[in-house]
Amino acid sequence: MEVIKTDIEGVVIIEPRIFKDARGYFFESFSQREFDEKIRHIEFCQDNESMSSYGVMRGLHFQRPPFTQSKLVRCVKGAVLDVAVDIRKGSPTYGRHVAVELTEDNHRQFFIPRGFAHGFAVLSDTAVFQYKCDEFYHPETDGGISIIDDSLGIDWRIPTEHAILSEKDTRHEVLKDFDSPFDINVDLY
């Protein structure tokens, strides 16, 4: 796998080595050994999958301490724009984001460490999205910032009239009103 660093430390894009022949293709979607060597040791404990239609926007989500999560995400069917926003108080990149298109064709994965809010927008007719987490889901620690906060400067590539959000995601605060539970010293992993 190739690890592509982004403008924000700890947030990386992963491109697998894909082996193609007349039968189709093969690649390792995750190798603990390679992840440990090239990124950092992590112990994932939960895999999740969602299916969504065009225009669905999910996020920007995180879990509050002590149940913070790192995520390794990928799109196995269709295409999504995936985004990580730095919400660590005192971080030189606070409020900045990294966006990457994840598709069934590019097989890219995106690693989002603790201290970041995460969300995605579905760009294809439908998308199947999978992600690994290093902490179990704890609904009592759910948190979020508004996915439609213009101050974040994210081009979701979805016209506003086609955006589909859950009721919960429409109630998140914008970044300027948000009191982050994370600081620059958060263990990213």
Among the options 97, 107, 118, 131, which is catalytic? 131
> For residue 71, how far is the Cα from the chain centroid?
6
Active site residue 131: yes
Q: How much helix, strand and coil, in percent to the nearest 5, is found in the chain?
A: 10, 45, 45
User: Catalytic residue at 97?
Assistant: no
How far apart CA 146 and CA 162 sit, in angstroms, is 17
186 token code pair: 């958060």
Which residue among 61, 107, 118, 172 is the active-site one?
61
**Distances in Å between the alpha carbon of 81 and those of 119, 124, 125, 139, 154?**
9, 10, 13, 25, 10
Active site residue ranges:
61, 131
